[in-house]
Chains A and B, each alone.
Chain A
Amino acid sequence: NAGVTQTPKFQVLKTGQSMTLQCAQDMNHEYMSWYRQDPGMGLRLIHYSVGAGITDQGEVPNGYNVSRSTTEDFPLRLLSAAPSQTSVYFCASSTRDRGTGANVLTFGAGSRLTVL
């Protein structure tokens, strides 16, 4: 059981380049989300999904696209990278426990992106 897997762990881009951060989970969780972590700002929600085929914007969606074609995968796309997108990106997944009703996020290890 690998949990939430993010790739790559590190990436350096030039301004204007595009790339995709991959996120996969093997826990059959219906909810997945992407956060960015910046010093002094905590984690901010970029996009989230409540199931395959359904996505919605979070607090800071501009400059990012997502899709959810399968339950397992939730890639985050940067179409034209900007220095302001230099950050650490975390993917998370969750499901609602039938017994307790608790819905607790499980985080991936993070992807550190630098845009020059």
Chain B
Amino acid sequence: KAGVTQTPRYLIKTRGQQVTLSCSPISGHRSVSWYQQTPGQGLQFLFEYFSETQRNKGNFPGRFSGRQFSNSRSEMNVSTLELGDSALYLCASRRGGQSTDTQYFGPGTRLTVL
């Protein structure tokens, strides 16, 4: 059974640009969550999608957005990139939406903003 895949694995952008990251969850999983991981702040929750609807959102500015498609694949977009957006962006999927459902993380996309 394939795990969570994220593309691209590495990305370099410059300030002011926008970026789209992609996440393919494990087959049959309907929930996809996105996290930002930095050395200073650790892992911070961005948002969660369940059956194409955003169900939860973290404390990030509106420049961060996402969506989920009918096949459960998800994308997140960051517009007007800032240096502080450099981070590892992790996607996680789980079958349902309960806390008891195991959450499986992908390997992440390493974004560098110059």
Same complex for A and B? Answer no
